[in-house]
Structure 1
């Protein structure tokens, strides 16, 4: 089944009990304003606004070691995960509505549902 995907953005995973302080640091470091200090209403995410190229950038409170990961968005999350598996990635787990995956080189990333944003480049079309 044909589907589309593209880079969605970057998530800054922070092993911290203080999401506000983490968001304030990254806001100042990146020169991006915190647009939504409680994105999703769970106290786990702070989303920045006006990121370059319309990319989604946010800070996420996590239990694992701090790191940065990217998200790939797709109009068919399962088809994109399968395409990436065929390239050598492996599924780590399905969380809420997205796949956590690992590249053959060990980096973790997520495959999330596509957000339709006209400021963004058109997605790639896959067979």
Structure 2
């Protein structure tokens, strides 16, 4: 069997803002779909109501994605072909605990630095977990309350 390509899709209230947070948190690039948006608008395939502007670029309303900067991407659409997170707006707010989350790993001895940087970006500490030799990490929440872990 050929390995499958995948992306992790995360429901959000403000896809573009959450993509900005995660791009900064992970050191990823926010995808730039503006050339594709321009083509689709010019050809009449999408209407102006399907797009919006974010950081001076035309983007699809309610969608934003981030990709690993070293992975390949389509130069026309800006869509990553490797490690990628896609954020999509949904009408309902987050309710309850995530069933899936990201674990961010600090450099050895760098957990405090990582947690501090994530807080500066808008994350919140929820609780500390210290299991001695088995591990030490913080359960945190992104700006929309999605849980993730920062581990040392």
Between Structure 1 and Structure 2, the one with more strand by share is 1
TM range (shorter): 0.3 to 0.5
TM-score relative to the length of structure 2: 0.32
